[in-house]
């Protein structure tokens, strides 16, 4: 640990990220197209229209009623109303019969919401966004590489709209602002994130920032970090690309991850080396015993 007032050199932590081992590779850099440099707008996404708010309400009401056995309630209520309508007509109480028929129509609309509201809302949302299932969308990893994903479903939840997508034959969930309709939109966002990330890390690493962000070690472990902290985590607990290296805490967490991973890799390498040595010794002993 460093002294309380001593500056902490993140790039020289017991040989971890030694400056002599940092390699700047120009071919690792991405060329990003230009757009407005305002990451807060990118993170929050566009303001939802009234249509989208209504579709979310329809989707959530359908899911809520389905979870609360709304279908059973609908069937019981419909049978009761039909029975009352028949009784009213037989008793020549036509005013009551008309009232019950209108009420039955309202119940039928409720039934549509219960049984098909989520599917209707999803279909209308996809049409409004000019999307379709099985469409190829794009997302960014922590290295700001563009990754293609395949749209499987849309969940129109109250707080967040989630896209269910297949990634390397695995199903993952992405929030609405984590997927892009075209590679160009993903590229524009990557440029914004890269500039903001560089700006924040410059306050920590000063003139070593570019060496850090373009080192082979960064690209290697950012890929592993993305797999563990993003793809393997639920969408509610994971670290998003908008949060990665956007604060001192995030940077320290990433450095600790690299340090721990390197130690685990070194231990595994030593164990493999010892196992190979043991095998060679056994083979050598067996061969020599036959001579």
pLDDT value for 68: 44
pLDDT value for 259: 93
pLDDT value for 234: 83
The answer to whether 149 touches 165, Cβ cutoff 8 Å, is yes
Report phi then psi at 193, rounded to 5. -65, -45
pTM: 0.65
- Per-residue confidence in pLDDT tens, the chain, 291 aa: 444 444 444 554 444 454 434 343 443 333 333 334 456 655 655 556 666 665 565 556 555 555 445 455 556 556 565 665 666 655 666 666 666 667 667 666 666 656 665 667 777 778 878 889 999 999 999 999 999 999 998 887 766 788 999 998 889 999 989 999 999 999 999 999 999 999 999 999 988 999 999 999 999 999 999 999 999 888 788 999 999 999 999 999 999 999 999 999 999 888 888 888 888 877 777 777 655
CA separation for the pair 65, 59 (Å, rounded): 10
The domain 10-37+133-251 is placed in CATH, from the list 2.60.40.730, 2.30.30.30, 3.40.50.10490, 3.30.70.580, at 2.30.30.30
pLDDT value for 36: 42
pLDDT value for 13: 47
């Amino acid at each position: 640990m460093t002294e309380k007032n001593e500056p902490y050199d993140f790039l020289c932590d017991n040989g971890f990220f030694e400056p002599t081992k940092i390699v700047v590779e120009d071919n690792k850099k991405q060329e990003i197209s230009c757009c407005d440099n305002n990451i807060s707008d990118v993170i929050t996404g566009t303001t939802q229209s009234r249509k989208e708010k209504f579709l979310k309400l329809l989707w959530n009401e359908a899911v809520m009623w389905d979870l609360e056995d709304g279908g059973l309630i609908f069937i019981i209520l419909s049978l009761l109303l039909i029975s009352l309508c028949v009784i009213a007509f037989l008793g020549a109480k036509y005013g009551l019969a008309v009232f019950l028929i209108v009420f039955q129509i309202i119940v039928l609309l409720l039934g549509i919401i219960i049984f098909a509201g989520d599917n209707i809302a999803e279909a209308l949302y996809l049409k409004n966004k000019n999307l379709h299932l099985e469409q190829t969308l794009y997302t960014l990893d922590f290295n700001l590489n563009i990754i293609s994903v395949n749209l499987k479903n849309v969940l129109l939840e109250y707080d967040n709209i989630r896209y269910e997508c297949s990634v390397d034959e695995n199903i993952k969930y992405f929030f609405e602002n984590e997927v892009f309709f075209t590679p160009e939109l993903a590229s524009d966002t990557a440029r914004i994130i890269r500039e903001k990330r560089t700006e924040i890390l410059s306050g920590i690493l000063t003139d070593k920032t570019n060496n850090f962000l373009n080192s082979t070690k960064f690209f290697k472990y950012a890929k592993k970090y993305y797999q563990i902290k993003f793809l393997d985590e639920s969408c509610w607990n994971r670290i998003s690309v908008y949060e990665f290296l956007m604060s001192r805490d995030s940077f320290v967490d990433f450095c600790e991850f690299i340090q721990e991973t390197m130690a685990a890799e070194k231990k595994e390498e030593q164990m493999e080396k010892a196992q190979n040595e043991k095998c060679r010794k056994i083979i050598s002993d067996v061969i020599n015993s036959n001579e």
